[in-house]
Amino acid sequence: MNSKTVAIMASGRGTNLNVILEAVKAGLCPVDVRLVITDKGDAQALDIARAAGVPNVIHVNPKDYKGREQFDAQCADLLDRHGCQWIVLAGYMRILSSAFVRRFRGRIINIHPSILPAFAGARAVEDALEYGVKASGCTVHLVDEVLDGGAILAQAIVPVFDDDTRDSLHARIQIEEHKIYPATLKRMVEEGFSVEGRRVIWAGK
């Protein structure tokens, strides 16, 4: 298995998927995106991946499986079949089963629109605004069995303005997401890292 082979799992518009594929095309992110999986047949991510020439673009329909574990097992088999070292979640809206996380422990990464551990969960941007924070941002982290709880790989900070809405703050966060996600992938495959307790230690050059 090549350390640069990547699968991307997405559910929706595919904005982070598109940014990663554009960075790969421009030579800024030296990964091989071999597989894109979506759980929704109408996900724009499917069209983005096909247009970019990803060799394997697959919709796995959850309705074809009895439960989350069977669905995840099918996805896991696809990941192994196509030799994917890293699993990158890009707007993937399904919670992964514990069995899936154990099978690929230390190899699944996600991006979340807050400075974790603050504001985990699906309402991160709204929760940050309601709490009254003056700064927010995004976090790239490893995925474990705790929702948005894995070790942190990278973070970026954005200011929160007094007149921010959910949409305006989220747009500012996404600008940083689109920088930090491909940059972190590049660093992962070029440098590598170890995890000591909760701390990610980058190997460096």
Residue among 100, 95, 14 at smallest CA distance from 52 = 14
**Tens of pLDDT along 4-33?**
999 999 998 999 999 999 999 999 999 999
Distance of CA 131 to the CA centre of its chain: 25
**Tens of pLDDT along 84-123?**
999 999 999 999 999 999 999 999 999 999 999 999 999 9
Residue 12 has a pLDDT of 87
Which residues form the catalytic set? Answer: 112
CATH code 3.40.50.170 region(s) in the chain: 1-104, 111-205
**Tens of pLDDT along 129-166?**
999 999 999 999 999 999 999 999 999 999 999 999 99
Distance CA 24, CA 30 (A): 6
Residue among 100, 149, 158 at smallest CA distance from 121 = 149
| Per-residue pLDDT at 189 exceeds 60 | yes
Distance CA 120, CA 128 (A): 10
Check: CB of residue 99 under 8 Å from CB of residue 72: yes
DSSP state of 122: T
Check: CB of residue 36 under 8 Å from CB of residue 49: yes
CATH superfamily for 111-205 is: Formyl transferase, N-terminal domain (3.40.50.170)
Residue 1 has a pLDDT of 40
* CATH code linked to domain 1-104: 3.40.50.170
| Per-residue pLDDT at 2 exceeds 80 | no
pLDDT band at 205 (very low <50, low <70, confident <90, very high): low
Mean pLDDT of 197-202: 95
From 67-71, 126-130, 168-172, the region with the lowest mean pLDDT: 67-71
58 burial type by CB count under 10 A (0-12 exposed, 13-18 middle, 19+ buried): middle
pLDDT band at 57 (very low <50, low <70, confident <90, very high): very high
Residue 45 has a pLDDT of 95
Mean pLDDT of 26-55: 96
Residue 148 has a pLDDT of 94
132 burial type by CB count under 10 A (0-12 exposed, 13-18 middle, 19+ buried): exposed
Q: Which residues contact 41 (CB under 8 A, 6 or more apart)?
A: 59, 61
